[in-house]
Every structure is written in structure tokens, then in C-alpha cells.
Amino acid sequence: MVEIGPGLAALTQPLVERLGRLTVIELDRDLAARLRQHGQLDVIESDVLRVDFAQLAATAAASDVNQDGAAAKLRVVGNLPYNISTPILFHLLDFVGVIEDQHFMLQKEVVDRMVARPATSDYSRLSVMLQWRYAMENILVVPPESFDPPPRVNSAVVRMRPLADPPAVNVRHLSELVQVSFSQRRKLLRHTLGKWLEQRQCTGNFDLQRRAEEVPVHEYIELALRT
């Protein structure tokens, strides 16, 4: 298991008591030094956006295999800061093949966008990109009084399980397509995505008389596979 941003180890200690050993990723030099004093932690002092999770999985696999002989995958957890939560989620998309599941605490508004359904105000680029690759569930709302000092916002815990057989679409291409679509979400797609498709001489049946938030995930994927 890997914890992102252990900080003062509020989550780390109960985890390591249950697991016996834990890998943690901490950017702050002083906190990393403090964490190294704990005999059951493997500390990676780094910006998480620079961490190669595939290499972490390979290291873990060298000493740990499942009962069927397959290499164990990573389980990733963390209380993610609001200002970098989306970049972290997109970074982990590159390594989803070596991840068993992810459990994160984030601001509730971020989790709402992650699990949002089409034709809702929370449905966004983040919704599409993550739902393409994960089954997600908002499993717990955490009120401000659970923290000391209490923040001014609600938090939530999301469970993310990689889909077993997702469509094999190029993530960079899908990301660009979805970003263009949501660049002016109040406008019809013919004003934004339509121009993008014309440049690629894309033909086929795709209704551009909709707004980006009205298009289901599977339609974005099908379009990405055709362009």
C-alpha cells in the first residue's frame, strides 16, 4: 500500500498498525525526516507528480505475489490537498494498470464532479476522464467538525476501482477531445468540438447540437476511437 501525503501521520499510524509496513510519499523535507524515524515506513521524499508508480509496483512485486502467483498491485490512499488533487488523479491514470484500487479523501465538491452523471451541473472533463477508466463511489461524507481545526468545506472519501476491460483509447487523445468539448460548456458543441473535428476531417454520426455535459462517457470514447 502507498499513502500520498502522510503529513503528521494521522492516517499513516492506524494504517501501518494494520498492515505492518507502508510506503509513503512526502514532499516536505522536515516531515519526511520525521517519518523516517518510524521503523515500519518506507519514505519516498518527492513530489508525487514525479513518482513512477510502475516502478513502485515492480519493487513491491519482487517481494510480494498473490496466492495465484500473479504480481501484487498497488493500493493507493491519501488525503489529497484541493489545489493539486486533479493533477494527482490525472498522473495516476498513467499507472492504472498496476493499481488495484484507490481511496482518497478530497473536498466533497471534487468527489461530486468525479462521480457525476451526464446532464448534471457537476458533470465535467474530470468526470469523463476518470469514469472511462474507473468504477467510482462516494463512500463517506466527512463533515468539518471531524477535523481540528475544522475547515469551511465538507470532505468526502471516494473509492476508485480500475475497470477490468476498459476501451483501449489513447489517453492523451481522449483528454484533448474532452478538454475542447468542455472549454465553453455553455455553448453547443458545434461551436467548439465541431471545429476540432473538422480539422481532423472526422466523419460519422455525432450530435453536435448538444452541450458537453449532455454527452455520456461512452460517446466520448467512441468518438475518440474514430478520430
Distance (Å, rounded) from C-alpha 15 to C-alpha 17?
5
| CATH H superfamily, domain 2-162 | Vaccinia Virus protein VP39 (3.40.50.150)
**Chain centroid offset of residue 19 CA:** 23
pLDDT in tens, 172-206: 999 999 999 999 989 999 999 999 998 888 767 88
One-letter identity of residue 106: L
Residue-range domain boundaries for the chain: 2-162, 171-226
Instruction: Identify the pLDDT of residue 71.
Output: 64
User: 140 has which bridge partners?
Assistant: 157
Mean pLDDT by 10 residues, the chain (227 residues): 93 94 96 94 96 93 60 90 92 95 96 96 96 96 88 93 91 93 94 91 85 96 90
Q: What secondary structure letter does DSSP report for 71?
A: B
* CA distances (Å), origin 78, targets 117, 128, 197: 25, 22, 38
Instruction: Identify the pLDDT of residue 175.
Output: 94
Nearest one of 44, 51, 10 to 28, comparing CA atoms: 44
Instruction: Identify the pLDDT of residue 141.
Output: 94
Q: Judge contact between 40 and 20, C-beta under 8 A.
A: yes
Domain 171-226 grouped into CATH 1.10.8.100: yes
Q: What are the E-state strand segments in 20-98?
A: 22-26, 41-45, 74-79
Instruction: Identify the pLDDT of residue 62.
Output: 76
Instruction: Identify the pLDDT of residue 157.
Output: 97
Nearest one of 104, 105, 110, 101 to 134, comparing CA atoms: 101
Instruction: Identify the pLDDT of residue 149.
Output: 84
Q: Judge contact between 103 and 157, C-beta under 8 A.
A: yes
Distance (Å, rounded) from C-alpha 59 to C-alpha 53?
10
Instruction: Identify the pLDDT of residue 67.
Output: 47
- Other Cβ atoms within 10 Å of 133 Cβ, number: 20
Reading across the β-sheet that carries 22-26, which strands appear in turn?
41-45, 22-26, 2-4, 74-79, 99-107, 155-162, 134-142
Distance (Å, rounded) from C-alpha 89 to C-alpha 109?
15
Would 2-162 and 171-226 be classified into the same CATH topology? no
Nearest one of 86, 197, 186, 178 to 132, comparing CA atoms: 178
One-letter identity of residue 100: E
